[in-house]
Amino acid sequence: MRIPAGTGKACAWFLAAALCALALGPCLAQVGAGDPRRTSIYVPDPTNEGSWDGTWMYQSVAMKMALWMRTRKGVTEFKLRYESLQRGNAFETDWNGDASYYASEYPATFQMHRTQGDANRIEGTWFWESQSGSTLRVEKGKFRLFRALDGRTMVFRFEDFELSTSRRGQPYRSAIPPVWTFVKVSKRLALWDELPF
């Protein structure tokens, strides 16, 4: 096949975009699936491959998170570190899943507790209360963790979720549950500064 002169860069970009679409296709949001006003997200099926122990990470345009997991006396424990990329908000929990910190000079509380689980699934509760000026923000819900694909991907999915805050003095409530996909970056408990963010 002959490529006309001057179109090499355009073809290279098109080929790169097509390969990315093929590789990332299953992970991308599907707009208009069923209802053109909604966005649905592909969530991979659970697998029994892999193990919890190690360091997992997640990054988006809004935040970075690391989840360290270890098994003690047959129970999986976890510790979470969160950093906002949009606001000066960061914390790290202890191995019980609790953090108390200051955000914008106001005290804040975060709790992520395991309620049940086994070698392949974990369920728990999420509570986060913070304040900015006179605005109180509260997140609460129940989540489920499971490994997917080859066992080095972890889905963090909320089964029940509510965000309560105010915008321009008016109460605001959202029940749209987040879904995050973490990637296992190490079998050991790596340091935050070692993570490839």
Residue 22 lies in domain: 1-42
Per-residue pLDDT tens for 130-156?
988 888 899 999 999 999 999 999 999
pLDDT at 61 over 90: yes
Percent of the chain with pLDDT over 70: 80
**Residue 121 within any structural domain of the chain:** yes
The amino acid present at 75, given as its one-letter code, is V
> Do 106 and 140 fall into the same domain?
yes
**Residue 32 within any structural domain of the chain:** yes
Reported as half-sphere exposure (CB side, CA atoms, 13 A), residue 18 has a value of: 6
For residue 126, what is the domain's CATH number? 2.40.128
> Do 146 and 158 fall into the same domain?
yes
Instruction: Report whether 162 contacts 141 (CB < 8 A).
Output: yes
Question: Confidence class of residue 114 from pLDDT cuts 50, 70 and 90?
Answer: very high
Total structural domains within the chain:
2
Residue 104's pLDDT is: 82
> Do 85 and 173 fall into the same domain?
yes
**Residue 195 within any structural domain of the chain:** no
